[in-house]
Each structure stands twice: as C-alpha cells, then as structure tokens.
Amino acid sequence: MDKQTHSSSRFRSYLVAEMKGRSPLSLLQKSAPAAAAAAAALLLFFLVLTVSPPSNSSYHSLFLSLSSNDTAAQHLQALTRRPHVAGTDANAVVAAYILNILSSASIPARIVPYHVLLSYPLHRSLSLFPNVSAPVISFDLSPEIYSGDPFADVAAEVLPTFHAYARSGTANGRVVYANYGRVEDFAKLRAMGVEVAGNVVLARYGLVYRGDIVRNAQIAGAVAAILYDDAKDNGGRMEKWFPEARWLPPSGVKVGSVYRGAGDPTTPGWASVSECERVSVDEVVASGVMPAIPSLPVSSSDGDAILGTIGGQVAPEGWQGGTGAPVYHLGPGPGLVNLTYLGNETIMMIQNLIAVIEGKEEPDRYVLVGNHYDAWTFGAVDPNSGTAALLEVAQRFAKMQKEGWKPRRTIILCSWDAEEHHLIGSTEWVEDNREMLASRAVAYLNMDYAVADRGFHASSTPQLDELLKEAAKMVQDPDNSSQTLYESWATTDSPLIRRLGGGGSDYAAFVQHVGVPSVDMRFGRDYPVYHSMYDDLLWMQKFGDPLFHRHVAAASILGLVALKLADEEFLPFDYISYAYELQKSTKVLENELLGKPVSFAPLQESIEKFRKAASKVESQRKALEGKDLLSKWKKDPLKVRELNDRLMMTERAFTNREGLFGRPWFKHLVYGPSNHNVYLSRAFPSIDDAIEGVEASKGLGSWKLVQREIWRVARAITQASRVLNGELT
C-alpha cells in the first residue's frame, strides 16, 4: 500500500470511530454554526468513505519513474546474440526468451502459431562480362566480417544475401541503369529511347519499396533486376565505415522481401491455420504481388563495378552519383550479366506471442501494443530495439500491478513473427480475429524498431495526434535533459505527425484491413546498416544509442500512450483534428485536378458533416465529464460507454468491404499505400489510383471513374459522421 492510500485509510478509520453509535442526522441537531460545521464534517465523512485509490495520473507518473536503461540493454543483448530469421531454430529461441520475460512478469502469455509460406535462398550467382575482351568477373556476394567482430562465431548463420520471394531462374542480358527504379524513372528511360525489354535492370535502393522496383522492371520487360546501395545514399564515398563509423561498409548488402502483398501469399484474406485453403505460388505470381523475374541485392562495391561497364547515353543529372563518383550512363550494355537465383518457398510454422492484462471495468475493449521480433540478421535496430522497449513496458506494467494498478480496458501485448517476409504474423492474426477486433479494438500502437538515431518520429491516424503530443510532453528528451520530448520533436520534425497509409510495418493490417486507430513511433528514421549483417549490438552501442537512454524514452512514450488509452474514462480521441486533415487532403487533390471534369462537392459536403459531428461529440463529452462533484456522481456509465463506442467505431466506417480497385485487401478509403510504393502513405488512395488510370489511358471518359471514387469516399466519410453522431437517419 502506498503512502497516499495508507493515510486515507487511517483517516477513514478515525472518522468511523467518531461516528460510532451516532446517527448522521444527530450531527445536525446543534446550533447553526455547529450545524454548518457538522454538515461539512458529514460531507467529508462520506467523501472519505468513498475515497478513490491512487489516480490514473499517479500510476502514469509511477510508470515513468520505473525506467531502466540497464534493463533495455540486457534485453537487447539477449535478443541479438544470433541471426534469427523467421522459421529458424534461432528465432524460436528468441520467442522463448520473450515468452519467459512476459511469464516472469506474471502477465498471462501464449503462443499463437500459423503455417505460412516463407522464402529462403538455396543458390545464387552473379557474373559480369564487361566486354568481349575483358575477363569475366564473378561476384562473391558475401559481406565481409570485420576485424574484431564479436559475432564472428555465428556469422555463418547469416543467410546468404537474397530477396525473399524472388522468382527462381537464370537470366542473361545487357545492363540498363534505372536510377531508383520508380515508375517515373522507367518513363524517363522510354522517353530517352533506352531499351529495357530483354535486358537486366540495375537500380539503386532507397526511395521506394524494393518489391515495387522489381515489379516496375518486370513491367518494362526486364529479364532480371539487381538492386544496390549507392554511396550517394550512404554518406558519400567515405574513407571510414562500420565499425569505425556508422556507415555501411562497401561490401554490405541490404536484403529484404520483394513480395508486395500482406500476410501469407497463399492465403490472401484469410488466416493460415495448418489445414486451410491455399492458392498456388503460380497463382500468387500471376496476381502481380510476387515477381515473375529473378532479382538480387548487391553491395555498393559490386554495384559500382557493374556501373563501370555501362555505356550509352549519359544519365540525367539527378541520376548521377555523389561527389567523386564516375559519370553514370544508361546503357544498355556493353556490360552483360549472368544472374542465377534459386529459392526455396516452403510452408513453415511461425509463432506470434500474445500477452493479456485484463481490464477491470471494460475487459472487452482492447488496447493493443506490438512489435515484431524476427530479423533478417542480428536485428539490433530492426526490430529488437523495439522488442527490448516492449519488454520493458511489460515489466513496468507488472510492477504497477503489484502497487494496485489495474487498467480500465484490456491491454494486449503482441510480439509478431515473420514481419520481415512482409507483415506475415500480424496480418494472419488480424485476419484470424477480424470480427473480434472490428467490434472491440480501441487502438493499435506499433513500434517496429525503437531506436536508430536521435530524434523522435511518429505517424498515426489523425484522432490520435493530440494524445501523442500530450504524452510527449510528459517524457524527458533522452538527448537533452532540460526539455521534454515534445519540445525537441516540435522543433525538428515537419510535418510533426505523418499519416499511416503505407504498408511498411505491422500497423498495416489494423489500419488498412480493419480500420483500427493506430500509431507508429520510433527514434531515428533511416539508418545505414538497415537489413544488413552489420545491424548488430556493437553498432547500437557505438552509434545508435550508446547509453540506452533513447530505449528508455521509447518505452516511456509507448507505454504512456497505451496507459492513457487503457485508463482514461473517455477515450482521448480528437476527431476535429481528423476533419482538418480530411479538408487539407481534399485541397491538395483539388489543386492537382484544377480544370479537370470532376467535382469535389460530394467530398467537401461529407467532410463538413464529419466536422460538425466531431464538434458535437466533443461537446457531448464535455457535458458528460462535468466539472463539479455532483455531476460526476450522476454520470451515467452507459452514456459514457456509448460515447466511447462511437469514438472507437468511427475509424471502421472509413473502410469499404470491396477495398481498393485491384487491391481488395486494402479496405481503408482515406489512407492507404501508393500503388507504386508500398512504403508511401497516400490520402484517398482509391481516387489516386483512378487518376493514375486516366493519365495512363489519356481518355476523357475515364474521368467518370475518378468521379465515382470521389463519391465512394464521400459515402464512407458520411457513414463515419453517422457513427460519430450515434444517430440513425
């Protein structure tokens, strides 16, 4: 029992003793002054008898005080001892560690398995024929183990560099340089008369999702794609790199998935339980979400060697390398490559870990907090800095429970498997629990990796913006103890909070498939050793977070947002902010389509209805909250619940069961990924897709499709207004 509760208990006992054997009315049978004093004492008596335990704010302050950078460091060391790709024994060891920590914290936890299609490399080779007279260059394709590497003993466990789900096969062709492999880059090549069809594309990785680069190359007719990390995007042509500096070594390779869907490719839209319906790999390839051509990632040094054999036209200025780089040409050739990739796509068991802290008043309302634990290599940044933060949050919650805290709503801690293959574990669980989540999920908080560098960054659905800001004002900036996290964040990030339409992490299934309000947050953005064998504990200790103060802050902001969502009587959602974001996004579209034969009136009218509904529900909340004691006593819990349900369910109304055209799994009509870059968030993605169709066809009649999508989005926003109002027509 804490000091506050103990003092209240002693005071209550004193008053009970004073009242023993006396009627409360007897206190009033005195002279007027005495009666007034007695009345005050009587009121105080009843107040003390009903004294509350420590307030939410007291417990939240306790949560912040329980931080420990030693704990986070210990977790990260244990989690990153070996490379642990999904489906491997090493990853099962990591899962067992997480389960043990959660169980030791007395938080009921369980393993939820799924049987999914995973991808591993069996063989790959790459040879370069510079010209008819030069000798053949055979690339080793293996990153170098650096001198003094503390993980050299397990380096052999790192998988050979590859692209998960790349098509098996052999390809030969002259090399064409395609800049970053974007749609506009291939359009530029066409405009310049550079032949891509029948050749091999070389593109630098960095601006769009690697799966979209390979897809774009395939559409252009390429027989294979090679992705490399250009020195320009890795600090320039540096003389020092890891372990002396933070930069990726010249032999470093960034691996990853080229699958463009979400979840198990063989069970699109339903859960991959052991005995279930599945589609074939050939059907998945035919659908366009898995590539039909082979591809490989290579190092910057190998990329430079290939670039040096490309002649033809000089590449545009924006396509050139950094300072000190040779002139880049477009090709094709005369350099020719021979590329072979043989992969193994096989059904493997993965393990999600689910831990539940049951709510006291509303156990059927869920606040979900998640991170994935599988990694392409050691994963010190991605993802296990986030895993360490999640485990610290769990241990702080356990200590709070010992002090008497119980959340109002249920908190579910989720540790996802197979995210790196492209959101497999989280998507399968969401598909498996779709209807339960649609009716009960309050919000999902994601922390893929927690720390890569200084600087806090957040993305969210807009009703959570204000909550994020308020929580950040309560957390100390890990790099400047004289200010709050919010103070440093507000001066360094613009826009302050980004939107969650992209498909880059485990929030995707919650936001884009079900319509659950969500947040994604981290310290640092891009980091040079991403998805390479150099993402290890030493890199984190030297460059990512030497004192582990950022890990502490990451756990603090993640846990505090969860606590506010779980503990506050009224859900801290702000839909006025959401209405503003809708208006802003509409204005951008209007400016883009100025003079085109479309009307945004339906969209504008629906957003105005939504704005009024947001203002109305805010007024209703304030009326229910009340400021005086009497109104708090008279508060109807059913009305509180009903208002909270409206706040919770409004995001669902932005989804459409038919989903985006050609991408039916993505059902959110307000925020979704770009059709040409899974990582990029787009507002009104279905309208964006329709506009792209018009530009491709150059047909005036196609604008009817754009207008149809404007109407469809407007209807969704109108439905959201009705949910927020809580009234039938």
Q: Which residues are catalytic?
A: 419
Distance from C-alpha of 598 to C-alpha of 592, rounded to nearest angstrom:
11
Distance from C-alpha of 729 to C-alpha of 716, rounded to nearest angstrom:
15
CB 200 within 8 A of CB 220: no
Among the listed residues 294, 277, 283, 276, the one whose alpha carbon sits nearest the alpha carbon of residue 261: 283
CB 216 within 8 A of CB 337: no
DSSP one-letter code for 248: P
Q: What string of DSSP letters covers 34-66?
A: HHHHHHHHHHHHHHHHT--SS-HHHHHHHHHHT
**Cα 170 to Cα 125, 294, 340, distances in angstroms:** 9, 7, 4
Distance from C-alpha of 232 to C-alpha of 465, rounded to nearest angstrom:
34
CB 194 within 8 A of CB 214: no
Q: How many CB atoms lie within 10 A of CB 141?
A: 18
Whether the bond between 407 and the residue before it is cis, its omega within 30 degrees of 0, is no
Token pair of 203, please? 């593109």
Q: 163-164 and 256-257 as β-strands: parallel, antiparallel, unpaired? A: parallel
CB 225 within 8 A of CB 295: yes
Please, what's the largest Cα pairwise distance for the chain? Answer: 117
Q: 295-298 and 336-357 as β-strands: parallel, antiparallel, unpaired? A: unpaired
**Cα 40 to Cα 45, 46, 49, 633, distances in angstroms:** 8, 10, 14, 18
Phi-psi region of 684 (alpha: psi -120 to 50; beta: other; left: phi over 0): left
Which element (helix H / strand E) includes 680? strand 677-683
Burial of 274 per CB tally in 10 Å (0-12, 13-18, 19+): exposed
Q: Crossing angle, helix 384-402 and helix 69-79, to 10 degrees?
A: 130
**Cα 578 to Cα 500, 639, 721, distances in angstroms:** 13, 23, 12
Which element (helix H / strand E) includes 591? helix 575-592
DSSP one-letter code for 476: B
Distance from C-alpha of 448 to C-alpha of 467, rounded to nearest angstrom:
20
Secondary structure, 3-state, 405-457: CCCCEEEEEEEECCCCCCCHHHHHHHHHCHHHHHHHEEEEEECCCCECCCCEE
Distance from C-alpha of 448 to C-alpha of 75, rounded to nearest angstrom:
16
**Cα 581 to Cα 587, 604, 688, distances in angstroms:** 10, 12, 17
Distance from C-alpha of 541 to C-alpha of 527, rounded to nearest angstrom:
14
Which element (helix H / strand E) includes 188? helix 183-191
Whether the bond between 517 and the residue before it is cis, its omega within 30 degrees of 0, is no
Strand ranges in 461-557 using DSSP code E only, listed in sequence order: 497-499, 518-523
Phi (first) and psi of residue 79, to 5 degrees: -75, -25
Residue 192 C-alpha from the chain's centroid: 38
